[in-house]
């Protein structure tokens, strides 16, 4: 089974920019993995921000964007807000099976 790797933790200053990445043990992440990004705050269900690499839901703040970067999926937050402090997970498709990354704890400080 594939292993999906994310940075365990990152810190960004308020108003700053940060990029979270998602790597696959089987090789480069492509659009064929249909990367998803979830945000989860303590005690809450996850909320999906991005699907199919870069597509936003209606509730996704404009400051979040998804892309492919150097063989990885990436979630970029531009203009971080205190309310963006949360855990972020990526989710990749592998011919039927799905695999979740271990999550990145993002601190806004």
Partner 1 sequence: QLQLQESGPGVVKPSETLSLTCTVSGGSISSSNYYWGWIRQPPGKGLEWIGNIYYSGSTHYNPSLKSRVTISLDTSKNHFSLKLSSVTAADTAVYYCAKETHLDYWGQGTLVTVSS
Which chain residues interact with partner 1 by CB under 8 A? 1, 36, 38, 40, 45-48, 51, 57, 87, 89, 91, 96-103
Within a 10 A sphere around the Cβ of 13, how many other Cβ atoms? 11
In order, the DSSP letters of 39-83 are EE-TTS--EEEEETTTEEPTTS-TTEEEEEETTEEEEEEES--GG
We find the least distance from the C-beta atom of residue 14 to partner 1, in angstroms, to be 26
- Taking the complex as a whole, the smallest distance from the CB of residue 78 to partner 1 amounts, in Å, to 23
At closest approach, how far in Å is the CB of 4 from partner 1?
10
Structural tokens at position 87? 């855990």
Q: Give the C-alpha separation, 18 to 52, whole Å.
A: 20
Minimum gap (Å) between residue 53 Cβ and partner 1 = 13
- Whichever of 59 and 70 has its CB closer to partner 1, that residue is 59
Please identify, using beta-carbon distances, which residue of 57 and 63 lies nearer to partner 1: 57
Instruction: CB nearer to partner 1: give 15 or 61.
Output: 61
d(CA 7, CA 96): 25
């Amino acid at each position: 089974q594939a292993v999906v790797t994310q940075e365990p933790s990152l810190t960004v200053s308020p108003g700053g920019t940060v990029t979270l990445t998602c790597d696959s043990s089987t090789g480069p992440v492509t659009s064929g993995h249909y990367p998803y990004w979830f945000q989860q705050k303590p005690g809450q269900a996850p909320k999906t921000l991005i699907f199919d690499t870069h597509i936003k839901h209606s509730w996704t703040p404009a400051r979040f964007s998804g892309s492919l970067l150097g063989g990885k999926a990436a979630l970029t937050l531009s203009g971080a807000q205190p309310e963006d402090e949360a855990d972020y997970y990526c989710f990749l498709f592998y011919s039927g099976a799905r695999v979740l990354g271990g999550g990145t704890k993002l601190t806004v400080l």
